[in-house]
Amino acid sequence: MSQSSSRPAPSLTSSDLFAAFDALTPGQARARGSAKWTERPNAVISAWVAEMDLGTAPAVTAALRHAVDDALFGYMPTPVWRACRSAVIDFHRDSFGWDIPEEDVSLLPDVLSSLRAIISRMTRPGSPIIAPTPAYMPFLRIPGALDREVIEVPALRGDGVSAPVWSLDLEGIETAMAAGAGLLMLCNPWNPVGRVLSAAELDAVAELSAKHGVIVFADEIHSSLVLPGGAQHICYASRPGADPALTFTATSASKGWNIPGLHCAQLIASGQARARFNADPLCSSLPGSASILGAIATTAALAEGRGWNEAVREYLRGTLETITGRLNGIDGASVTMPEATYLTWIDFSGALADGRITGAPAEFLEREAGVSMNEGVTFGSDYAAFCRLNLATGRGIADEAADRITAALA
């Protein structure tokens, strides 16, 4: 049986990694053949899909090579999923202080498959779904496909000194819950704004959930990408007020170790929520769809690849600090340094107001600057002036993207 620890992975220092990242060119990134780079013209810097150009941990690569050598391509063996579950439990205990019973963890193909199942099987037919916005784009699409209305609750905007630049509108969330919503989609860390929600915010959400009997689906897929030296991630389900009967947590190593194509996420649920999930035929069939290679890669990432992840987060912090500073120097643009993720959320309201940007900002900047970003309106109806820029790439590529945006708006 292939185990990630049976063959040692090569060791790389942070300086080795940083040098390799710095040397990356758009041509090299494009030659790898990812959707991120091949679905845009060759002259364009691709900064849209939320994946990294920085490879993955040597431990993950070694584990996958071992599995390929062993032709381990069949159905999921019990030792593999158990090892993955144990790695998830150990990682959450060590990183976030959350002790999770083994029976509370199941493997799934991805976070969104669990969201679809929970909305369709665990909420009242036709009940609205709450999306604090700006929201991860599928959060705004999936409920409609399941005959559910989406209630967008736009974030509150502060000055970053007396209040976070982006925070949950708790009054708006309660209004939506009181109107009969069946589920709140809570993204923490928050894609695309990069916030790490505080204990006070999480406790307030838990109080509202219990008061109105509304399920909280906590998407914590970016929890392994909190930038060093700042905020600390807190798992929503670990808060004392979070009702286990109303709480589902979805997470994955896919973002922190850059393995989304391997399809192995984890759903954490306990008590009545777990019992309901296990009792439903559609929900209980999902663990059988997780990828064996994904489980092997996840085990290697969480058990042996933490040092790589730490180095990557340090590199990302340096890139983000540099590029957000440069973008904030552009008249008519505003971006906040994220606390987590490798994503920046840029407000181009000023450049739209004075006519330097015409039409949709991302479309304009791909055409005029050769930088491909996501349109803000796809994250919520209030955000037509925004773009999401992915900076998980070599620093030279990130600098070139900033140069191009700056020139286009000069």
User: Which structure tokens are listed for 60?
Assistant: 């993950």
Domain-embedded: residue 192: yes
Q: Are 311 and 250 contained in the same domain?
A: no
Range of the domain at 127: 67-304
Task: Report the CATH number at residue 160.
Answer: 3.40.640.10
Tally the domains of the chain: 2
Residue where a domain stops, chosen among 269, 304, 339 = 304
State whether residue 131 is helix, strand or coil. strand
Q: Say what the pLDDT of residue 2 is.
A: 40
Q: Are 31 and 150 contained in the same domain?
A: no
Q: Are 30 and 122 contained in the same domain?
A: no
Distance of CA 196 to the CA centre of its chain: 12
Q: Per-residue pLDDT tens, the chain, 410 aa: give them.
A: 444 344 555 567 889 999 999 999 999 999 999 999 999 999 999 999 999 999 999 999 999 999 999 999 999 999 999 999 999 999 999 999 999 999 999 999 999 999 999 999 999 999 999 999 999 999 999 999 999 999 999 999 998 877 779 999 999 999 999 999 999 999 999 999 999 999 999 999 999 999 999 999 999 999 999 999 999 999 999 999 999 999 999 999 999 999 999 999 999 999 999 999 999 998 988 888 999 999 999 999 999 999 999 999 999 999 999 999 999 999 999 999 999 999 999 999 999 999 999 999 999 999 999 999 999 999 999 999 999 999 999 999 999 999 999 999 98
Q: Are 85 and 220 contained in the same domain?
A: yes
Which pairs from 11-15 meet CB under 8 Å and 24+ separation?
11/58, 12/58, 12/308, 14/311, 14/314, 14/315
Q: Are 222 and 93 contained in the same domain?
A: yes
Residue where a domain stops, chosen among 304, 329, 356 = 304
Domain-embedded: residue 5: no
Q: Is the dihedral of CA 45, 378, 217, 228 positive or negative?
A: positive
Q: Are 295 and 358 contained in the same domain?
A: no
Domain-embedded: residue 364: yes
Distance of CA 353 to the CA centre of its chain: 31
CB distance 326 to 320 below 8 Å? no
Q: Are 268 and 319 contained in the same domain?
A: no
Q: Are 297 and 313 contained in the same domain?
A: no
C-alpha–C-alpha distance, residues 152 and 234, integer Å: 24
Domain-embedded: residue 296: yes
Q: Say what the pLDDT of residue 5 is.
A: 42
Q: Are 124 and 163 contained in the same domain?
A: yes
Residue where a domain stops, chosen among 252, 274, 304 = 304
Q: Are 265 and 384 contained in the same domain?
A: no
C-alpha–C-alpha distance, residues 317 and 311, integer Å: 10
One-letter amino acid identity for 312?
V
Q: Are 83 and 163 contained in the same domain?
A: yes
Helix (H) or strand (E) holding 60: helix 58-69
Domain-embedded: residue 209: yes
User: Which structure tokens are listed for 214?
Assistant: 């509304």
Q: Are 109 and 197 contained in the same domain?
A: yes
DSSP string for residues in 316-378: HHHHHHHHHHHHHTSTT-EEPPPSBSSEEEEE-HHHHHTTSS-S-HHHHHHHHH-EE-EEGGG
Domain-embedded: residue 62: no
